[in-house]
Amino acid sequence: GKALLWRFKEMADRAAARPVFYHASPRWMIDYLDIGLSLLKLGEEARVPLAEFSLDGSRRAKLRQSRARAERDGLSFEIALPPHAGERMAELRAISDAWLMSHGGAEKGFSLGRFDPAALAREPLALVRAQGRIVAFANVWTGGREEASIDLMRHPPDAPNGVMDFLFVELMLWAKDQGFAWFNLGMAPLSGLAEHRLAPLWHKIGAQI
């Protein structure tokens, strides 16, 4: 509880660092304030209600067309369950390294997942293949049976156009078929900010951005 929060703040102080909690739970808001932290809204979680999700109708026409195009281009989707063979992990490592090189060369690892073979080896993996070669992957989080999500998603620089759209559509259809109620797409940056003349300055700056 609060003792752990104070301990974390003490450790940050010894390291001349500033403590930050990302995806802060409303349950602990008062405790965050009590240890001297302030609240800053960065956005909101994007959660898809899967009972209502389908590719039917005019609203889903672009997704339906994107999926059909991907299938015509020879893309296929699969969920690979652990344990994962060393050859597969090596292939995913090569994809991840190529992705990192095209995005600055280093893991971020704070608000985004990092390539951790030990963690990935224990989780289901969503794979997109083109002519047998993996061209995109993501790990799948399935805590309980209520919500599915992903943490890490990577593809090589030469992946076909639309490969991540295809992966997300197939993942949500799979999660719906598995009985999950929600699919969590993670943080939608700068969403849900107040639009009012008396709104905090940060909200006004975020709205302009």
CA atoms within 13 A on the CB side of 171: 30
Per-residue pLDDT at 111: 60
Residues of the chain with pLDDT under 70: 105, 107-112, 189-190
Per-residue pLDDT at 134: 96
Per-residue pLDDT at 105: 67
Q: For the segment 137-169, what is each residue's pLDDT rounded down to a tens digit?
A: 999 988 777 999 998 899 999 999 999 999 999
CB 164 within 8 A of CB 158: no
Cβ-proximal residues to 145 (8 Å cutoff; 6+ apart), any chain: 179, 180
Per-residue pLDDT at 129: 96
Residue 137 corresponds to which tokens in the numbers above?
A: 């992957």
How far apart (Å, rounded) are the C-alpha atoms in residues 183 and 191? 18
How far apart (Å, rounded) are the C-alpha atoms in residues 47 and 61? 20
Cα maximum dimension of the chain: 57
> Residue 144: phi, psi to the nearest 5?
70, -155
How far apart (Å, rounded) are the C-alpha atoms in residues 86 and 92? 10
Q: For the segment 169-185, what is each residue's pLDDT rounded down to a tens digit?
A: 999 999 999 999 999 98
pTM for the full predicted model = 0.79
3-state SS, residue 17: coil
Where does the chain have alpha helices with state H? 2-14, 29-34, 61-72, 86-101, 117-120, 163-177, 201-208
CB 170 within 8 A of CB 63: no
Distances (CA, A) of 92 to 69, 117, 119, 158: 25, 9, 13, 15
Per-residue pLDDT at 11: 97
